[in-house]
Amino acid sequence: MRLSYENRRYVETAKISACHIVALDEYLDKKRHVELKMDQALLLIHNELLGTHLTVYWNSERCYHCLPQALVNVSGSGKRGKPSIAAVAVSTQHGSILQLNDTVEEKEVCRLEYKFGEFGNYSLSVKHVNNGVSEIACDLVINKNPVDSNLPVCIAFLVGLAVIIAVCFLRFLLSLDDFNNWISKAINSRETDRLINSELGSPSRAGLFGDDAQPEVWRPCAVPPRLRSVDTFRGIALILMVFVNYGGGKYWYFKHASWNGLTVADLVFPWFVFIMGSSIFLSMTSILQRGCSKIRLLGKVAWRSFLLICIGIIIVNPNYCLGPLSWDKVRIPGVLQRLGVTYFVVAVVELLFAKPVPESCASERRCSFLQDITSSWPQWLFILMLESIWLALTFFLPVPGCPTGYLGPGGIGDLGKYPNCTGGAAGYIDRLLLGDDHIYQHPSSAVLYHTTVAYDPEGILGTINSIVMAFLGVQAGKILLYYKDQTKDILIRFTAWWCFLGLISLALTKVSENEGFIPINKNLWSISYVTTLSSFAFFILLILYPIVDVKGLWTGTPFFYPGMNSILVYVGHEVFESYFPFQWRLQDNQSHKEHLIQNIVATALWVLIAYILYKKKVFWKI
């Protein structure tokens, strides 16, 4: 019979009956143990039902509308008091849903939901109660307590926080004249004192826009000095990208979501695209004001886009893990390829419709309300047309063998009805135009949804929404330039965009992961994903701009340095990923702690490299 397991009777210590211990010893004599890997626990299933064979099915709580997967079969007990035992490894990344069925009658015996702990040892006992009359009980017992797999992350966070506090405290001390005089007498070197203050970004010694910045002479509608908040934001996104690409300690929340939803890894790429859009507008405005012709600038834009695409296909290609690059198996889409296409489209649109920044913005210290939007109405019209194309193709393009407008992962999702429909129209377009062999072969949806078809998260259709994301970044750049030195107006507009885009996301998603009209999905680059991440981006700028550029309370260190050399850091970390000192042989390959230390060290090394290059004034620009 079906037994509700809502009470969840868990015993926190090993309290197994003597007959269970004897049976367990006999079982382990025959089969030593199940070898556990990272993010797994051992589950021993004790079947005390006489003559009743059980089939155990498993599902992750994060797998939406998924077919249960057969986990293990357990034969019926042949003798009262001597259960049949089966051992199996279960996932500990998310909560598990276990369903035990009578193998012969195919009816549910019991069902339970539980979050297993990493490397824990559990026993699930299935037996009759009330002298075997009718009811069946399923009791879960903890034989061996799991390890706290999140402890290394907590320790790393606390260490990082302690370093930040120590640096801030030292910076405060160095801002005090008495302490400075004492330091100077102690080391008898003003130069060392100057260098320390310079590195820590002391507001009394450093300008708002960097240590090397010179006092700016105000000129009407002049392009402002390089905004450290923009470079800092880019550096934050880049360093997070490097960390998650190196493995993120092998934690699930530092990996991409299997389908709908957000993890830390899903934040970084769109933020990078957003800041690229801001940089496009700021840099193009500066170049045009210096007298460069639009035709010459168009050539530079085309050449840079071409180089980004070539670097992505030839140098940074995941198919190198299969051996020498084969042109019949080369992956055509990719991160740099998408950046190249997005950069080209957004830059060309801005170049075609570029208008001079009105001098009244600076001379009168005031711009007309919404000038930053109304002056860009041709660009907005183009972006709305692009988004209409995305919506039309996504929801109305007929896909053979799939429902029209399908946004699911395929595989075992949707109860296994559409196993080969991963990504709907987005996946179909890529397979049709590029071919199965030229797109990503190991999508994140394969982890939970067991998809078997190739799917590329940087595919053709999703590029439309990356262009939208970059254009929202352009809007942030226009706010910074049109309302230069009007901090209140800038912050009001950042706040308005943050709230406006956030409300759109709430409406599209119905404040849920899977039940909305258009769920947040990095694999599809859904429009709700773009509005959500853009809302976050405006909020981050809302925080960074006054702290870094206005008040000078923080110089952006250490993120500012990789933000100034982003292409070099990105390409370098991909190319040298497997080389020492970025990677070394671990003593325990199944330890989150060792992976986390290795990934933090590798990421920190790229920050150090970027810092050294910055001091040497070496910048790789394409």
Residue 4 within a domain = no
The two tokens of residue 593 are 């702690």
Higher pLDDT, 531 or 29: 531
Higher pLDDT, 108 or 523: 523
Higher pLDDT, 26 or 434: 434
Residue 296 has pLDDT above 50, yes or no: yes
Per-residue pLDDT band at 49 (split at 50, 70, 90): confident
* Whether residue 347 sits in one domain with residue 309: yes
The candidate with the shortest Cα–Cα distance to 508, out of 517, 500, 499, is 517
Residue 511, Cβ neighbours under 10 Å: how many? 10
Higher pLDDT, 254 or 129: 254
Per-residue pLDDT band at 216 (split at 50, 70, 90): very low
| pLDDT at residue 152, rounded to an integer | 92
Higher pLDDT, 185 or 444: 444
| pLDDT at residue 77, rounded to an integer | 76
Residue 595 has pLDDT above 80, yes or no: yes
| pLDDT at residue 553, rounded to an integer | 85
Choose one of 144, 163, 181: the last residue of a domain. 144
Cβ contacts of 405-411, under 8 Å, gap ≥ 24: 407/518, 407/519, 407/521, 407/524, 407/526, 408/259, 409/258, 409/259, 409/445, 409/449, 409/451, 409/523, 410/445, 410/449, 410/451, 410/453, 411/445, 411/446, 411/449, 411/450, 411/451, 411/452
Residue 139 has pLDDT above 70, yes or no: yes
Which of 364-368, 432-436, 478-482 shows the lowest mean pLDDT across its residues?
A: 364-368
Choose one of 144, 162, 178: the last residue of a domain. 144
| pLDDT at residue 188, rounded to an integer | 55
| pLDDT at residue 367, rounded to an integer | 53
* Whether residue 325 sits in one domain with residue 231: yes
| pLDDT at residue 183, rounded to an integer | 66
Residue 89 within a domain = yes
Per-residue pLDDT band at 506 (split at 50, 70, 90): very high
Per-residue pLDDT band at 202 (split at 50, 70, 90): very low
| pLDDT at residue 200, rounded to an integer | 39
| pLDDT at residue 389, rounded to an integer | 97
Residue 3 within a domain = no
pLDDT > 70 fraction of the chain, expressed in percent and rounded = 83
Residue 331 within a domain = yes
Which of 26-30, 448-452, 505-509, 547-551 shows the lowest mean pLDDT across its residues?
A: 26-30
Residue 182 within a domain = yes
| pLDDT at residue 217, rounded to an integer | 38
Cα→Cα distances 306→238, 301, 343, Å: 21, 9, 10
| pLDDT at residue 34, rounded to an integer | 72
Distance CA 283, CA 161 (A): 35
Residue 582 within a domain = yes
Which residues sit opposite 110 in a β-bridge? 3, 100
For residue 36, the domain's CATH number is: 2.60.40
| pLDDT at residue 172, rounded to an integer | 77
| pLDDT at residue 317, rounded to an integer | 76
* Whether residue 162 sits in one domain with residue 132: no
Choose one of 176, 206, 236: the last residue of a domain. 206
Distance CA 36, CA 232 (A): 41
Average pLDDT score over residue span 15-33 = 45
| pLDDT at residue 15, rounded to an integer | 40
Identify whether the C-beta of residue 238 lies closer than 8 Å to the C-beta of residue 219. no
Distance CA 596, CA 456 (A): 27
Spot the catalytic one: 20, 256, 438, 573: 256
Which of 120-129, 323-332, 339-348, 520-529 shows the lowest mean pLDDT across its residues?
A: 323-332
The candidate with the shortest Cα–Cα distance to 42, out of 6, 91, 79, 76, is 91
* Whether residue 547 sits in one domain with residue 421: yes
Cα→Cα distances 105→126, 391, 416, Å: 17, 47, 22
User: In the chain, how many domains are there?
Assistant: 3
Tokens 């999140």 label which residue? 150
Q: Is 256 a catalytic residue?
A: yes
Residue 1 within a domain = no
Distance CA 533, CA 489 (A): 22
Identify the helix (H) or strand (E) that includes residue 521.
none
Average pLDDT, the chain: 84
Tokens 């051996």 label which residue? 323
Distance CA 622, CA 620 (A): 7
| pLDDT at residue 357, rounded to an integer | 67
* Whether residue 371 sits in one domain with residue 254: yes
The two tokens of residue 442 are 């190991």
Residue 605 within a domain = yes
Residue 125 has pLDDT above 70, yes or no: yes
* Whether residue 154 sits in one domain with residue 138: no
| pLDDT at residue 395, rounded to an integer | 96
* Whether residue 175 sits in one domain with residue 90: no
* Whether residue 133 sits in one domain with residue 180: no
Higher pLDDT, 451 or 324: 451
Which of 148-152, 292-296, 306-310, 520-524 shows the lowest mean pLDDT across its residues?
A: 292-296
**156 lies in which domain range?**
149-206
* Whether residue 409 sits in one domain with residue 419: yes
From the CA atom positions of the chain, what is the Rg in Å?
29
Residue 203 has pLDDT above 90, yes or no: no
Q: What is the DSSP letter of 515?
A: S
* Whether residue 462 sits in one domain with residue 484: yes
* Whether residue 118 sits in one domain with residue 20: yes
Per-residue pLDDT band at 179 (split at 50, 70, 90): low
Per-residue pLDDT band at 184 (split at 50, 70, 90): low
* Whether residue 374 sits in one domain with residue 459: yes
Residue 599 has pLDDT above 50, yes or no: yes
Q: Express each pLDDT in 410-431 by its tens digit.
A: 999 999 999 999 999 999 999 9
Residue 197 has pLDDT above 70, yes or no: no
The candidate with the shortest Cα–Cα distance to 540, out of 342, 275, 335, 346, is 275
